[in-house]
């Protein structure tokens, strides 16, 4: 794997299929971290056992991809992770009792997007200001709404103002 990574042209993200013959997903993930030259590494699987995605992300992976996601979602997830953000399909995230969805912590990028929401900016404006693509902003808005327990972007901005998050 290291020889392939070293010989390849510059890349933004390493995506490891945990079903590669002869390589355990987690052991392969450790090898990919070692060979990635500091680039983000994500794990892809055809299965989504409970808790695996959280463990993969907790180990330092950029994300956990399911092979059955639509192509457009896969492309957006890869773009998201290539910008050093963490991706996990929202249906795989199970908030623990100690961290309910309504009080989940926002990443630095989510806080930047939330500031744009609070300022009344459209996704396109936020994307331009942060030098990101609009689908990436849409994903951030969805995650912000989930973490704040908001119904929509306006509700997220209202919650954020109430909690002095922006």
Q: Please give the mean pLDDT across all residues of the chain.
A: 80
106 class by beta-carbon count within 10 Å (0-12 exposed, 13-18 middle, 19+ buried)? middle
For residue 13, what are the contacts with CB-CB under 8 A and spacing of at least 6? 39, 40, 41, 42, 62, 78, 81, 82
CA angle, corner 164, sides to 161 and 166, nearest 5?
70
97 falls in which pLDDT band (50, 70, 90)?
A: very low
- All CATH 3.40.50.2300 domain ranges in the chain, comma separated: 2-92
In tens, the pLDDT along 126-151 reads 999 999 999 999 999 999 999 998 88
What's residue 86's pLDDT?
A: 85
Q: What are phi and psi of 105, to 5 degrees?
A: -75, 140
pLDDT at 96: 45
Please say whether the beta carbons of 95 and 134 come within 8 A.
no
* Topology classification of domain 101-162: Arc Repressor Mutant, subunit A (1.10.10)
Residue entry with tokens 């695996």:
52
Contact 25, 45 (CB under 8 A): yes
Residue ranges of the chain that CATH labels 1.10.10.10: 101-162
User: Three-class SS of residue 41?
Assistant: strand
* Residue whose structure tokens are 């290291």: 2
Q: Tally helices (H) and strands (E) across the chain.
A: 8, 3
For the chain, what percent of residues have pLDDT higher than 90? 23
In whole angstroms, give the CA distance from residue 14 to residue 149: 32
Q: Which CATH class is domain 2-92?
A: alpha beta
pLDDT in tens, 40-76: 888 888 877 777 778 888 888 888 888 888 888 889 8
- In eight-state DSSP terms, residue 124 is H
* pLDDT surpassing 90 at residue 112: yes
* pLDDT at residue 98, rounded to an integer: 39
Residue 130: the pLDDT is 94
Considering 21-35, 81-95, 106-120, the range whose residues carry the highest mean pLDDT is 106-120
């Amino acid at each position: 794997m290291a020889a392939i990574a070293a010989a390849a042209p510059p890349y933004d993200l390493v995506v490891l299929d945990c079903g590669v013959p002869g390589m355990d997903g987690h052991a392969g993930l450790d090898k990919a971290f070692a060979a990635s030259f500091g680039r983000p590494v994500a794990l892809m699987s055809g299965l989504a056992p409970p808790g695996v995605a959280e463990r993969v992300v907790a180990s330092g992976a950029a994300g956990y991809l399911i092979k059955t996601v639509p192509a457009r979602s896969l492309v957006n997830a890869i773009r998201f992770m290539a910008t050093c953000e963490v991706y996990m399909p929202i249906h795989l995230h199970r908030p623990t009792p100690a961290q309910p969805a309504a009080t989940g912590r926002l990443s630095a990028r989510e806080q930047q997007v939330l500031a744009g929401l609070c300022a009344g900016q459209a996704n396109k404006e936020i994307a331009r200001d942060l030098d990101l693509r609009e689908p990436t902003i849409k994903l951030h808005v969805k995650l912000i709404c989930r973490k704040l327990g908001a119904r929509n972007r306006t509700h997220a901005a209202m919650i954020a103002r109430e909690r002095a998050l922006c």
